[in-house]
Structure 1
Amino acid sequence: MKNTTITTLAALLIGSASAFAQDSAFTKPAGFVSHTLKAGQFNLVGLTLHQPVVVSGELDDVNGQVLGDDEVNFGTSLEAGKTYILEITEASDSTLVGTIQEVTVWNNNEMTTPQDLDAQGLVSGDKYQLRAAATISDVFGAANSAGLLPTDEFKADEADLIYVPNGAGFDTYFYSDLTGATGWFKSDFSPADNTPIPYMDSILILRRAATDLKLVVTGSVKTVAATLALGAGQFNYVSATFPVGSTLGNSGLEANLTATDEFKADEADIVYMPNGTGGYDTYFYSNLATAPGWFKSDFSPATNVEIKPGIIILRRGAAVNATVNPPSTYNNL
């Protein structure tokens, strides 16, 4: 389905860890990854490098969906019209660490979240950070520098298509190089240059062109756990979050997924990963005493299987927030 090359990231992470040990003033490591978009098929892509943190601090007030920080003026620190990803980095209730919310509303010293984090146990003194969600223009270039197949007749069915999850299905986008109508557009032909792609989601890219394409994505490395919101009884398109080193065994996903205690894959939540040939390999977690751990659908052990940047999780039970942990090699970054 999709091949991904991590270029310089492994060396970057090792080198950064050494540098950080010697100097208390540092920035998060950054780099680039290369995804191969195979011709004539859908390609699943997850963003594992991210926009930089623009605001971080300690909450002074938590009131329902409204969070306040007296030290920050969000009206001047954040850019109007953008979507920002709020992440809880430290909390009195440790289960809230890694909680993620998409923030689009703020004013002066307050921001509003879609969920009531107050009711979930967030309190004053807990710490957070904000980073902008990458947009279609950020990922693919405002002028399509990524090189997706465009349309010169303003017809979506002639171009490569980007499918972005919307909670009930997908919104689709294409690039037009038609004179007078150049840029990114949604399938309803509305302008889409600034459409956000939250890094918790994976996206599908339909490559209609006859040749494979390398998609290079740049950004910073996230070094703390993230929370993936999995909808009940549905396929959830999510990102592995971390660019290198993540396996099924070190991800921690099993803590929040439904396992099987009878060693039957059809009883457990299923993780789908592209296999590079246009299909998916599937995995499940067993808590059977005689066969605990991750397994492939053919029942071969899968604990050390590397997680692809974009994955799909079939959640059979109720909605759940699933935590995905960074590899232990990220601890000192």
Structure 2
Amino acid sequence: MIRPPLSTLALLSLLALGAHQAYGQADMLPMSRVAGALTIPLPAGKSTLVGLPNVKIVSSGTVGGVAGDVLTLASSPSVLGDVEAAPHAIKIVSRANQSGTNAYGISALITDQAGQDVTADLSVEPNVGDQYVIYQLSTIATLFGAANETGLTGVADPALSDKIYLTNAGELVAYFYNGTAWKLVSDPTGADQGGVVIQPGSGVLVVRIAGSDLSIYLSGDALPARHVAAVAAGHNIVNNPFMVSTSLSASDIQSNITGGTGPGVSDIVYLENEGVMTGYYYKTGGPGGIGWRALGDSVTDAGSAMIAPAKAILFKEQAGTAGFALPEPFAD
């Protein structure tokens, strides 16, 4: 369990102590789109896993053609607007061929556009007839402000500044505001990092070391369909795009990650609540029984632990084939 306040080194050291193929059960069509707003507290001296459940959906429709990474879209509005100048992603929200391969729940960054044709490196090729949405992605600057309008503590020395962490190939990469621009902690005099994109399916870890309690405000559409995250061996900050709470057991994550007889041979799911981060794994047998367990307690059932709206999930992939899926509550 991570109890605040902790240094960045202590946070990452603890995560290293914790010890796959992930697809949701999802054959059903997603729930209808809803909109909403959330205020996410960023308390001083604590670590917060920030999910991004609210987005700006700019287009929806069906996939009319597939040629490798190039998708031809039948869109609403009928003429697809510019989705290349600012970062956007496409998400497949249903599947036309339920007996075959499908990309249901997968998102990918749009890297090129020619009219109704978009290029996106989806990890699984979609089928003609699949439904999609296109939504705008956040950057460090659009989420926290180009001039740090959120108010995170930021000075030239990263050791004295609040940190934000993004995921890159299983590693947690730290950024800070130096008083004039966003920088990499590993390169505090380097280029401005405000334009770094928070990749599709990812969330943010905010580590506050000083200052007053803060918050960020999110509004927009809720992303439909199950959530399939691109993860790698190591630590991954996975977005939770859903605006309703669910428990670990009800979420059915246990069907989509690798469990084991102990934490050393299982994937670990970290949930954060009021700055306290607790790791869980799914126990598949041995002394103490079967079910969700918190790290350090192999006996007590922890399936009632809640995944809250606007809270990302810190996922340690260390067993089986890299993968993670979160079925849509009440739909999948």
CA RMSD of aligned residues (A): 3.1
Cα separation, partners in 2 of 1:38 and 1:304, compared to 1, 3 Å: same
Q: Name the residue aligned to 2:278.
A: 281
Residue type matched to 2:194 in 1? D
What SS does structure 1 have at the residue aligned with 2:60? strand
Q: 1:90 aligns with which of 75, 94, 103?
A: 94
- 1:148, distance to aligned residue in structure 2 (A): 0.8
Structure of greater relative contact order (alpha carbons < 8 Å, 6+ residues apart): 2
Separation in 2, partners of 1:160, 1:326 = 33
Q: Name the residue aligned to 1:270.
A: 268
Work out whether residues 236 and 315 of structure 1, in 8 Å CA contact, stay in contact via their aligned partners in 2.
yes
Normalized against structure 2, the TM-score is what?
Answer: 0.76
What SS does structure 2 have at the residue aligned with 1:237? strand
Residue type matched to 2:255 in 1? A
Q: Name the residue aligned to 2:154.
A: 150
Separation in 1, partners of 2:279, 2:214 = 26
Residue ranges of structure 1 left out of the alignment (5+ in a row): 4-25
Work out whether residues 50 and 199 of structure 1, in 8 Å CA contact, stay in contact via their aligned partners in 2.
no
Cα separation, partners in 2 of 1:214 and 1:267, compared to 1, 3 Å: same
Work out whether residues 59 and 80 of structure 2, in 8 Å CA contact, stay in contact via their aligned partners in 1.
no
Q: Which runs of structure 2 are paired with 1:1-333 in the superposition (5 Å)?
A: 28-39=34-45, 43-69=47-73, 71=75, 77-94=81-98, 96-115=103-122, 117-118=124-125, 122-151=126-155, 154-167=156-169, 169-177=171-179, 182-186=180-184, 187-198=188-199, 200-232=201-233, 234-260=234-260, 263-274=261-272, 276=274, 280-288=277-285, 291-297=289-295, 298=297, 299-308=299-308, 309-328=311-330
How many pairs does the alignment contain? 293
Per-residue CA deviations over 1:8-38 (Å, capped at 9, x if unaligned) read xxxxxxxxxxxxxxxxxx9622111322333
Q: Which structure dedicates a bigger proportion of its chain to helix?
A: 1
Separation in 2, partners of 1:292, 1:155 = 47
Residue ranges of structure 2 left out of the alignment (5+ in a row): 5-31
- 1:218, distance to aligned residue in structure 2 (A): 3.3
Work out whether residues 74 and 111 of structure 1, in 8 Å CA contact, stay in contact via their aligned partners in 2.
no
Work out whether residues 237 and 311 of structure 1, in 8 Å CA contact, stay in contact via their aligned partners in 2.
yes
Residue type matched to 2:256 in 1? N
Normalized against structure 1, the TM-score is what?
Answer: 0.75
What SS does structure 2 have at the residue aligned with 1:67? strand
What SS does structure 2 have at the residue aligned with 1:196? coil
